[in-house]
Each structure stands twice: as structure tokens, then as C-alpha cells.
Chain A
């Protein structure tokens, strides 16, 4: 059954077809929105379907993969169109489909050139899905780069503030990193070919390459640099606050919730397994930047008066936990990191949306403009509080679970790093409490006419709140999906 329908190809090309269709219909705003919504819903349904298959093994696939597809592509270089889905990819594709759906809904009011906007959103989704499914390093790189152009335009055309500056800064940073990664990929390919006689970019093959330690260090550094820029890790983050702030809400959502996850995914799927020795040698460095990031960015977030900027720093601060879990490279810590990727995407994404809604109502992102919204717009304020509590790590909500798993997993490997990171969570509490206090409670600082949530807005937030609570109380099934693939990835 599964072999008859090229599921994985469909996952990539369905949004791409949607993108082209939306662009063709760009004259009518209503049609554009309807088609974009329909395609993103269909994509989500399509992503959920393989849940039934997990646990099986596809024919010809490497261990752990239950859907697999392989075809010759550029034979001159042994480049193949190889896609595979294991538990990790499955969760990431579902996350991508979910976040894109939310992005489409939250961009409902985009009026200017809506056709192009939604077309780019769906094209970006196709690239991200492809990236999460690629098992050929060349294909992975292609999708990695293909994400750039839609993102560049989403920020540059529909952004606010200094969009052109921000978007070009974002682009140059990521582009420098990825080109160095390209050189490393080529070097690895040649080395593997010279050793085994078969020139291939297939990830399961390349893992077996015997890489001399000093060369491995350079190659791993190139991969790490590329992923650390998109992550972003301290001190390569300087593009991030600008890009997050100046992007439209849906763009920030894609950037903060999905693109940063592609970098974490790259570290887990590619960089660490390919270079076990080099990654172990550089682990202390990653611990340092991760821990530094958690604390430092939380501290900077506290100093912000612009809410979106505060969230941008909060977002990188939370991503520090993901880096921490990956650096520990134990099954518990990495599964925590993967869960944190999902939780971060949902929680931070939801926070960007609520702040976007507030900005849309009062045309200000400054903390000083607000106060006492609890009494005026209770439904909004409820969601605002809930997502902030999740972000602060209140037990029973999603971030608590994954951050705890990461800390526990890391503590066994690097107690000091885990202890300092734990202190960082206190700083998170500080800025979150201040945000909640200033916006929701206290006296109204300026007289504002605020309207409570519309049905669409409330629906979007309610769905996200369900996920936040659901993953908080019952994360077991998701963690179970990670178990098998991690056994394969982390085997010594």
C-alpha cells in the first residue's frame, strides 16, 4: 500500500503545488486564503497518517525508518533522491504542517499581495518538509538553501521596521555558514569515495567513513558553524532579533518555530552521527555556548521594552536547552531536546502570535503602552497568561517536561552545565513575570480601545493551548516515537 503511493514525495510536493496554485489565483484574496488553508489542512492530515505505520520497517530502508523512497537523480555524482521517515522525521513533519497551518491562519489579514505571501509560505513549508525527510546529504543541502529565498522575501516584502536591512543580514549570515558546510560536504564525499570506491551522498553510507581526527574536526566545525548560525547560538545570534522583530507574524512563526528547528535537526541527524570523535572533542564548547545562551539571552530579554524583541531573546534562550540536550548526546537528553524543539515551536510561536494580536490592536509593541488588559479583554489575557506560564516552565505545561528531561539527561553527563542551566530558568521566570504583570495587571497606562479575540483568533490560540497542555500532561507517545531512531543514531 505504502509503496504504491509515494507518501514522502507527496509530503513535499503537495505544498509546492499549493504554492503554485495560490500564486495562479493571486487576483482574488478570498480564493488565495481558502486554497492556502485547504492545502495546509491537507498537508497536516497527510502527515498524521504515517502515525499508524510507525514501528514497521520499510523495505530497503536503514534501521528505524518506516517509510522510505529512493531514486537515482544526478548519476554523475551518485546523488540520489532518497527520502526516509523515522519517528523523529515524523514528529518534525507533523510540527511543520501544524505550524504552517497556524501561520496561514494568523496571516488571514494580510491584504497586500496576499497571493504571493501565501505562495511563499507554502513554498517554505515544502522546503522544510523536504529537509526533514532527506537522507541524501546533497538533497538535504538543497532544501537547506531553498528555504532561504522564500524567507528572504517574506521578511523583506511584508516586514516592518527595517525589513530590507534585517532580511539581508539574515541571509548573509546563513549563507556564509551554509557555503562552508557545502565545502565540508564535498570533502566528506570525496573522502568516502576514495575509501570505499563508491561515490555517494547517502547519509547511512557516509556515517561509516573513517575520518582522520584533525580533518574531522575541521569538517565538523564547518557543519557546526552553519547550524549554529541558524540555531542561533551565542555569539552568532546577532541577525536574529532584527529578523524576528521586523518579520510579519507568520514570518516570525516560520523563522522562530521551524527554521531554528532545522538547525537542531541537522545537528542531531547529520553533524553528530557523521563526526562522533570531533563532536565529542567540541562538546565542551557547545555546553559553554548553550549555557551562556540560556542565561545571557534571558538577561537581555529582561532589559527589553519592545515585547517582540523580548520574545526574540526569550526564543534563543530556550533554544539553548535544545543545544544543551544535543551536546550531552545521551538518549534521555537528546529525546528531551527533540521534545523541547516541538514545545519551543508551539509555545514561542503562540507567544509571537499573541503579541502580534496585541500589536495589531494598539499598534504598539512597547510594554509601557499596556496595562490592566485582564479586565478589558479576558479571553486574550487568559491565553497570554497560559503561554507565558508554559514558557516560564510551569509544571503541567509542555516546556516544563522537556526542560526537565534535558536537565536530568545532561546532569548525568555534565553536572556543572546542568546546574548553571537550571539557574538560567530562574531568569526566564523573571522576565516572564514582568511581561505578564505589566501587560495583564496593574493600571492602564494609556487609554486604549481594545477588542477581544475574534472567533478565528480564539480558535487558533485554543488549538495551540490544547497542544501546550496535552504535551505537558501526556508527552509519552511523542517520546516513544523518538526512542527507536535515537537507538540507531546514538549507538556507539
Chain B
């Protein structure tokens, strides 16, 4: 290993080092300084990755700083940093103490950074499961609430089944091709039947991770039970990681026509059922969970085209979705008092009582609904553009109609915020860290919405 190799895997080393440091030195340091260390480390790793030049040479066996990693690592670091900023005062209000929270977030970030660097199925699987493992812990971190533990258990049990499916799929790919190298294993068309079977089993596992219908059943319970900052992190980074995994596998494979029907079915079911179920929710976190099901359906629609445009749309949507959901769950976290505001009606009048957080929540909803000038519109445009270009016109029409229906439940939140009188207890003033995180997410939403050029260029560079 040369010094050059060390440079390329530096983001991974930074996050791993920070996680260990926080865990070991946590007992003797103030909790504010732990958050500060975590945010600094995430920011440093992200900036480092963004400024490095991607190579195809493996730094250590099974790891290379690929162009995809250069795009995704800063994104994951952004999400982790915002999660840490949001969780600090949230955890204080909720009595979640100790260094294990920031440490686990950093461990999750470490695994997320490894994932896009993987060149080997084993590393890929280990990275994916390490991400999930960190999230099992994070979801059940709130020991004072039974729902949190329940959500963690539910997530763990179903997650274990999904992990078994994914592992079995990788094993079949290995059997079919005789190698664990991603480029070698996927490029080989011999043993087609075994490889197709492997793909089918992997899809089952990924459908669970992406919460595509019918693998979505855990999602509302887990989002509802988890602390809001964890839901923010979970709904963004773990989803983007799973989508990236699917993207890496698909991009390296020869065209797989047999995947078209299952992917199309997953996509349509998720878009339609996700949005319909979200229409009926009274609980905002459950509503966002079903909305996330629908959004992953849109993502799958773009993947389906199998074209460069489709893959670019997935990456763009992943980035935009990260900003939107961090803003939405961040505002929910920050607006919570001693209890979280669960029902939609708990948000009545908050647009005026807490202008910043209400505004950010409204912006997130407008963006999720796909209304310009928020970034969600650009994302949806790209998704449907790639779908129509790929010839999936009927799917695009189903998708766009379900998106139109989804405007209703997003607007209900906006209506609660601005058009109803408040009876709920007034929120506490926004803390500096929360304000910073919410402003960051909002600025990203607005800037991408108005001027997406640089981000699109960065994505082009990934796919080149």
C-alpha cells in the first residue's frame, strides 16, 4: 500500500477513526464536543472525497475510490453531519445520553463510505449489512419509549431475513460466475440461469431495503418509532445506499431483460400504493414513511430504463431526496417538545409560531410534491424524462398521476402550518445547531431547484 492509496481511502479512515475516538473518549468529554467532533469529521471526510481524484486501482483488496464513491461519500457525509447537528438538542430534550449515539452515527457513516468503494461482492455485502447494523441500534436508541425498542426489533427481524436473501443472491452470482469480483462476476453471461436466479433473490433483499411494495411493511412502524433525527438519516442514506448498490450491480451487468418485469411491478406498486396509503395517514412520520415508499418507486422507474439517463436520474434524485427528507424530519425533530408532534393537527399554526422551522417543513413538503422552484421538481422531471425516453410511457403516466394525488397529503401539512389556528404547546426556540442544519438543507433544496447545472455535471462525471 502506497501513500497514494492511503489518500484515496482517507474518508473511510477519517470516519472510522472519529467513530472509535468518540466511543473511547466519550466518557470523559462533553456531549457537545462529541457532536462537534462528529460533525467536523463528517465534513472533513466529505470535503476530502469531493476534492480527490477517483481511480480504478484498488487501494486495499476490494476497495477503490471510484467515481461513484466521489459523488456518494460527500452526500452521505452531508446527511450524517446534519443528523448529528439535529440530534444534539433533540437528544437532550429526550434524555438520550451518552457517546454511543454520535459514535453509532459515525459507524454508519463509515460503512456508507465503504459501500460505493467496494469492488468485490463480499465487501459490498459487508458494507450494506454494517449500515443496517448501525441503524438497528440507532432506531432503538431511545430507551425511554417502548415504540423505539419495538421499531428496532421489527427492523432487526425483517432486516435479518432481507440480509439472508441478499447473501444468498450473492452466493448464487458467485456460483454462476466463479468470482467475487464485481466486474468479473457480472460481466459473464455464462450460467445464465443461476445468475438470473441470483439477481431475483438479490432483488427481494433490495426491495426490503428500499421499502418497495411488498417489502415496505416495516417502514411506517420503524419511521414512527425511531427518534426523528434517526428517521431523517435512515430515510435518506440507507435508501440511497441500497439504490447505489442496485445501480452498481446493474451498471456492471450486461442488459438483463428478465429484470424488467419485476422492476416495473415493484415500481408501479410502490408509486401507487405508497401514495394511496400516505393519503390516509394522520401521523406525519407514517405519512412520510409511505411517501418514501412512493419516492423509491419513482427511483425504480428511472432504474428500469437501464440507460445512462436513468442512472443519472437515480443519482440526482438520491441527492435531492436526501436534502428534502433531512429538512422534513429535521423540522419535525426540532419542533418536538417533550413528546414528538405526531399528528398532522399538532402542527396547526406552527408556520407563524415557529417561522423558520415551519417554513423549512413547508418547503420540504413543496419539494416532495415536486413543485418548482424547489429541487423536487427537477428530480421528478429527470425521472419522468428518463422513463419516457426509455419507452416506459404507460408507467410514466401512472407515476405522474400518483404524484398528482400525492400533492394532497403534502399540502395538508402546509395547510396545517399556515391555515389553521394553533392550540398545541409553543415550540422551544430553535437551537443554533438545528437552525444551521435546517438552513443548510433548505439552501440545498432551493439552489438545486433553481440551478441544477453543477450537480448534473458532477453526475455526468460519475457515469462517464
Contact = CB atoms under 8 A, between A and B. Distances in A.
Given A182-B381, A186-B384, A76 B419 contact: no
B404 A175 contact: yes
A75 B453 contact: yes
Q: Which of A73, A152, A167, A180 has the most CB of B within 10 A?
A: A152
Interface string B372-392: 110001000100110011000
A212 to B, nearest CB: 14
B404 A179 contact: yes
Given A148-B371, A149-B371, A186-B388, A156 B419 contact: yes
Interface stretch (B79-87, B154-162, B410-418): B410-418
Nearest to B415: A164
Count class of interface residues, chain A: 20 to 34
A74 B377 contact: no
Contact of A176 (B388, B389, B396, B404): B404
Interface string A165-198: 0011001100110011011001100100000000
Contacts of B21: none
A146 B419 contact: no
B452 A172 contact: no
Interface in B386-432: 388-389, 393, 396-397, 400-401, 403-404, 407-408, 411-412, 414-415, 418-420
A172 B385 CA distance: 22
Interface in B17-68: none
Nearest to A159: B419
A153 interface: yes
Nearest to A189: B385
B371 A183 contact: no
Q: Which of A145, A157, A182 has the most CB of B within 10 A?
A: A182
A251 interface: no
A187 B373 CA distance: 22
Nearest to A76: B456
Contact of A145 (B371, B418, B452, B457): B371
Contacts of B457: 76
Given A156-B418, A156-B419, A73 B371 contact: no
B411 A145 contact: no
A331 B389 CA distance: 37
Contacts of B418: 153, 156-157
B404 A73 contact: no
Given A156-B418, A182-B384, A142 B453 contact: no
B456 A183 contact: no
A113 B418 CA distance: 11
A171 B456 contact: no
B307 to A, nearest CB: 12
Nearest to A155: B419
A183 B394 CA distance: 11
B401 A179 contact: yes
B384 A74 contact: no
Contacts, number: 78
Interface string A98-131: 0000000000000001000000000000000000
Count class of interface residues, chain B: 20 to 34
B338 interface: no
Contacts of A73: 451, 453
A171 B412 CA distance: 11
A74 B456 contact: yes
B459 to A, nearest CB: 9
Nearest to A169: B408
B388 A152 contact: no
A149 B419 CA distance: 13
Q: Which of B384, B396, B407, B456 has the most CB of A within 10 A?
A: B407
Interface in B428-464: 451-453, 456-457, 460
A145 B370 CA distance: 10
A163 interface: yes
Interface string A385-412: 0000000000000000000000000000
Given A182-B400, A183-B384, A74 B407 contact: no
B366 interface: yes
B352 interface: yes
A183 B400 contact: yes
Contacts of A187: 388, 393
Contact of A179 (B372, B403, B412): B403
Nearest to B352: A113
Contacts of A167: 415, 419
A152 B414 contact: yes
B371 A179 contact: no
Contacts of A146: 371-373
A164 B404 contact: no
Interface of A: 73-77, 113, 141-142, 145-146, 148-149, 152-153, 156-157, 163-164, 167-168, 171-172, 175-176, 179-180, 182-183, 186-187, 190
Interface of B: 352, 366, 371-373, 377, 381, 384-385, 388-389, 393, 396-397, 400-401, 403-404, 407-408, 411-412, 414-415, 418-420, 451-453, 456-457, 460
The 3 closest A-B pairs by CB, nearest first: A76-B456, A156-B419, A176-B404
20 contacts: A73-B451, A142-B377, A145-B377, A146-B371, A149-B371, A157-B419, A164-B415, A164-B419, A168-B415, A175-B371, A175-B404, A175-B407, A176-B404, A179-B404, A182-B384, A182-B400, A183-B388, A183-B396, A186-B381, A187-B388
Given A77-B385, A175-B407, A183-B400, 14 more contacts: A74-B451, A76-B453, A76-B460, A152-B414, A153-B418, A156-B415, A156-B419, A168-B411, A168-B415, A171-B407, A175-B371, A182-B384, A183-B396, A190-B385
